[in-house]
Amino acid sequence: MSLQIYIDGQWYSKENAKISVFDHGLLYGDGVFEGLRSYGGKVFRMKEHLDRLYDSARSIFLTVPISPEVMEAAVYETLRLNNLTDGYVRLIVTRGVGDLGLNPNLCPKASVIIIADKISLYPAKLYDEGMEIVTSSTVRNHPAAVNPRIKSLNYLGSILAKIEGLKAGCNEALMLNLNGEVAECTADNIFLIKNGRLATPHVNAGILDGITRRAVIGLAKEAGMDVAETTLTRHDVYVADECFLTGTAAEVIPVIKVDSRPIGDGRVGPITKQLIAAFKGLVAK
């Protein structure tokens, strides 16, 4: 059976799941989204994802037409209809259909789309051996423009950085903020380890407040590690002992080379391994 996709209260097969070309989500990237993951039939940190979605919407004056409770039920129903216990869920709220002008007041109703599909994982090899990343020339969105904490449908900056990464033979790319400080990668947050201590950019560096990032900070603290949310430069990355990325799709993935410089001894480090194992334990709960 074809994938069943939720649009505004009804499910459509993939072939028939269509939205208007006048939807401002398409015309202007006017909307917000979330990426969630289900493990063994349970969505990981559902409430945190829904809170972030509704906060993103609120920040852009977008009224989500259904309550978080109805949204949660629709997510589970979409997973069930597609027989997915382990899967990836994309939640999208668009401004809805309007005219060709920018005016969102002419879009009477926001649209909600829920797509549940199998997760496309990075190759297992990357988790064992670590990945290589490069710094992108595309600067992360300035928080005074559209704050990166808003998971908006405008991902062009991250897409340009991703293209630069791919052209350099890398699966991810590091983005700096306008001050030249480390921000995050295109769809993942970044962590460094130096002398047994963890460090990750503060959300005020202009990053997405990642839910996997929060989970890993919690796991590290539970394990008695020191975690600093702080200002980091590329120098800190280059001289780190270990580096890893976090994200809903990637989970926790080691980085062993940045801008052609091996991180630490160029192999996946012990603390990264420990946190990968702890994260596996957490999602299996």
Q: Which of 136, 152, 246, 272 binds ligand PXG (CB under 6 A)?
A: 246
> Least Å distance between CB 99 and ligand PXG?
29
Query: What value does the CA radius of gyration of the chain take, rounded to a whole number of Å?
Result: 19
Q: Which residues contact 280 (CB under 8 A, 6 or more apart)?
A: 251
HSE-up of residue 197 (Cα within 13 Å, Cβ side): 8
Least separation in angstroms between residue 214's CB and ligand PXG is: 8
Decide if residue 201 touches ligand PXG (CB under 6 A): no
Active-site residue identified among 151, 221, 280, 285 = 151
41: which 2 tokens? Answer: 């039939």
Q: Smallest gap, in angstroms, from Cβ of residue 88 to ligand PXG?
A: 7
> 36-55: b or e for each residue (b if 16 or more CB lie within 10 Å)?
bbbbeeebbbbebbbebbbe
> How many residues of this chain bind ligand PXG (CB under 6 A)?
15
Residue from 189, 219, 255, 258 in contact with ligand PXG (CB under 6 A): 189
Contact (Cβ atoms closer than 8 angstroms) between residue 50 and residue 72: yes
Single out the residue of 249, 278, 282, 283 in contact with ligand PXG (rule: CB under 6 A): 249
Whole-number minimum distance, CB 75 to ligand PXG, in Å?
Answer: 15
Which amino acid appears at position 243 of this protein? C
- Using CB under 6 A, pick the residue from 82, 171, 248, 272 that binds ligand PXG: 248
Q: Residues 213, 244, 263, 272: which binds ligand PXG (CB under 6 A)?
A: 213
Residues 6+ apart with CB under 8 A from 64: 53, 54, 57, 71, 93, 110, 112
Residue with the CB atom nearest ligand PXG in the bound state? 249
Binding window for ligand PXG (CB under 6 A); candidates: 24-32, 58-66, 231-239, 242-250: 242-250
Which region, judged by CB under 6 A, interacts with ligand PXG, from 21-29, 106-114, 181-189, 193-201?
181-189
Least distance to ligand PXG, CB of residue 56, Å: 11
Cβ 20 vs Cβ 102: under 8 Å: no
Is residue 188 a contact point for ligand PXG (CB under 6 A)?
yes
Letters for 32-61 (x = contact with ligand PXG by CB under 6 A, - = none) are: ---x--------------------------
Cβ neighbours of residue 75 under 8 Å, at least 6 residues apart? Answer: 36, 43, 46, 89, 91, 114, 116
Among 211, 220, 240, 243, binds ligand PXG (CB under 6 A): 211
Dihedral sign computed on CA atoms, order 94, 56, 62, 82 = positive
151 is catalytic: yes
Contact 6, 91 (CB under 8 A): no
Residues found in the chain:
285
List residues near ligand PXG by CB under 6 A.
Answer: 35, 158, 184, 187-189, 208, 210-213, 246-249
Catalytic (active-site) positions? 151
